[in-house]
Amino acid sequence: MHEYWNGLAGEKWVRLEGRLDESLQPFADGLFSAVHLRPGERVLDVGCGCGATTLEAARRVAPGGRALGVDISAIMLTRARERAHELGLGNAAFEVVDAQSDPLPAGEFDAVISRFGVMFFAHPEAAFANLLSALRPGGRLAFVCWQKIDANPWMFLPTLAAMQHVAIQRPTDPYAPGPFAFADADRVRGLMERAGWRDVTTSRFEIPFAAGGGGSLEEAVDFMMEMGPAAQALRESDAATRARVREAIYETMKPFERNGGVLMDAAAWIFSARRA
């Protein structure tokens, strides 16, 4: 994960930052509706990437509060710091931290949040215990994660299309770190409760989604070629194969084109919990 997010993946997220933030905004809105931040609070944002949710948290807890975004990607955190400076948000800070295993300041925060940042933990129960230790008594947690891949046509259908032309390695362990590792809500709830969290609740969050990072149909297809499950296989493919894959993804996404973009169904979970 460290190598992945500090290499090509991190560079792509920085380059596509604006489109990604725009397309994921509905999920961020759902996350903040669940956590109910208040002025003066201290917030820890896990897997903050280029900082969009940390910056929004900083706005919501002002005056008097602060937000700390942590991630393992130094590349993305450099961009996050630039954004905080551009916006004049002095109460937002960013640190390279592995929230699964690095020591966190005990009892420091009122809330922990994450927008699609917790599914990459190799040892999620240990990670949840570590996050719990960073909260004050009564502090709360909210995060959003994807439901299973076949409930997310924005990813599932283009992946099936690509698989007709390139071999895509399927994880042998459905719970291995990755975008859909937390699809089983009952399993995740059990992990959290064993780690010490209380009042764990789960709600469905299902919306028409600006697929492919938003943008036009052409841009959405380009995004899936770069960021989707086929991306690694395509880096090793010849031009003819890449062209066939692109055409297959284009034809799959075209029926969902709406108003200059591509809208496909997306399904996530929003988890909430608290420290006793």
Q: Please, what is the average pLDDT of the chain?
A: 93
How many Cα atoms occupy the beta-carbon half-sphere of 120 within 13 Å? 18
Q: Which amino acid is at 197?
A: W
Give the tens place of pLDDT for each residue, 64-105. 999 999 999 999 999 999 999 999 999 999 999 999 999 999
Token pair 């949040």 is found at 113
Q: For the chain, first and last CA: distance in Å?
A: 31
- Residue 167 belongs to a domain: no
| Beta-sheet strands, E only, within the chain | 42-46, 66-71, 92-96, 109-115, 135-146, 198-210, 257-258, 261-274
Rounded Cα–Cα distance for residues 269 and 182 (Å): 9
For residue 218, is it within any domain? no
Angle between helices 17-35 and 52-61 in degrees, nearest 10: 40
Q: From CA 96, how far away is CA 195, in angstroms rounded?
A: 24
Domain extent, residue 181, equals 2-150+173-212+264-274
Residues 6+ apart with CB under 8 A from 228: 155, 158, 159, 162, 249
pTM for this predicted structure = 0.94
Question: Each residue of 33-56: pLDDT tens digit?
Answer: 999 999 999 999 999 999 999 999
Number of domains the chain is built from: 1
Mean pLDDT of 205-222: 91
Residue 156 in domain: no
The mean pLDDT value for 156-166 works out to: 92
- Give pLDDT, residue 230: 77
CATH of the domain at 54: 3.40.50.150
What's the pLDDT at 149?
93
In a domain, 223, yes or no: no
Q: Is residue 247 part of a domain?
A: no
